[in-house]
Amino acid sequence: MIDDPHIGVIGLGYVGLPLAVAFGKLLPTTGFDIQTERVDGLRNGYDKTLEVSAEELAAARWLRFTAQQDELSPCNVYIVSVPTPVNAHKHPDLGPLLRASETVAQVLSKGNVVVFESTVYPGATEEVCVPVLERGSGLSFNTDFTVGYSPERINPGDKEHRLASIVKITSGSNPATLAFVDALYQRIIQAGTHPVSSIRVAEAAKVIENIQRDINIALMNELSMLFNLMEIDTGEVLAAAGSKWNFLKFQPGLVGGHCIGVDPYYLTHKAQELGYFPEMILAGRRINDRMGAYVANRVIQAMTQKNISLVNAQVLVMGLAFKENCPDLRNTLVVSMITELHKFGLQVSVYDPWVDPEQGRHEYGLELIPAPEPDSYHAIVLAVAHREFVAMGAERIRNLGRPGAVLFDVKQVLPPEAVDGRL
């Protein structure tokens, strides 16, 4: 098909940037993003997501960054890696994906290949994206250009499981495209690839990866709520059950981020479009979506049991990112916990050394504090297990609170006897 690939990566976030850097070490690569400040930062060797180091950026000698659409025109392979969020009604928001497809359509030429990495429901690539490419380019699908799908498997903040060390699913709109896409990714994926028979299979495989995790975490969350009513420590129960070789070791917690808390709604949307109501998937989503409010109410309960007045009480929330050791704020359920605490009239201070304060202000209207004040808080919630927080230990964290303050451990990283509550 294409003997001399020139890669164009559309979207330079958590998924697109590592791809662009990996290909840019081997092949001419153009990284495109509509945010000029993002492009400027990358040109200066800084990745605000902290996924790619300055050294790694410098090593990609064939890579250049741009926010100008026309600078994509020399490319012959386009990789689309933009977000696929949900709207306020939990319906798929394909706006970013449609706009990215329109961008590619404007520079698409005969013989080009377009590969999508964004998570979607089965059928979306060929039913939604391909018509946009055809209309915008005037070219015919599978005659003038072809399409592949290779779902992203990036895990933000994970320095062990990175792009090259995770098996990559590959697919194509015809056998020749599958062979090309598979060979292309094999050049950068040390763990190897897993080609499948169709784009729809690849789309389905991706979306159920996170649904499986979502449902299992929902089960742990429901058990945590039940065991709390029984006055049984969930962590001890799970440690005991985990002594059996085939027990799946999931933990209760706040399920946020761009994947687990979002992807299930893509499949349930398609299911309901086909007249099927996916009961188990949506039940898991309902449980996980309400965990922020549940944690807040557990904190309130613990404060009441200690006779701490709720009127203007000071609460310190440690962590705002959706997961540990990562600045990513997408769909963090810590926000829903904070919202619930505010309903009780509590004064909440949020501290997260990983998060850009401007981003916290822009995304959620929250003013992060630069550092917590010792002896200041009536309750402390360890919401995110950043390594800085874990290293502090229970005693140093307690020193941030007033005598008798509540310490609630969402992540179960502190000794159970050292806290007043945990999931």
Query: Which residues are the active-site residues?
Result: 259
Q: How far apart are CA 19 and CA 321, in angstroms?
A: 23
Q: Are 403 and 378 in contact (CB under 8 A)?
A: no
Q: Are 361 and 336 in contact (CB under 8 A)?
A: no
Residue 198, class by beta-carbon neighbours within 10 Å (0-12 exposed, 13-18 middle, 19+ buried)?
Answer: middle
Q: How far apart are CA 345 and CA 369, in angstroms?
A: 19
Residue 248 C-beta-side C-alpha neighbours within 13 Å:
9
Q: For 51, list phi and psi in degrees, rounded to 5.
A: -85, -30
CA geometry: angle at 111 spanning 105 and 114, to 5°?
A: 45
CB count within 10 Å of CB 223 equals 18
Q: Are 60 and 25 in contact (CB under 8 A)?
A: yes
**For the chain, what's the residue count?**
423
Identify which of 205, 230, 235 has the alpha carbon closest to the alpha carbon of residue 220: 235
Which H or E element spans position 318?
strand 314-318
Strands (E), 33-132: 63-66, 77-80, 113-116
- Which whole-number Å values give the CA distances from 343 to 70, 336, 346, 348, in the listed order? 50, 11, 7, 11
Q: How far apart are CA 79 and CA 76, in angstroms?
A: 10
Residue 277 C-beta-side C-alpha neighbours within 13 Å:
2
Q: Are 18 and 53 in contact (CB under 8 A)?
A: no
Q: How far apart are CA 325 and CA 122, in angstroms?
A: 32
Q: How far apart are CA 205 and CA 194, in angstroms?
A: 11
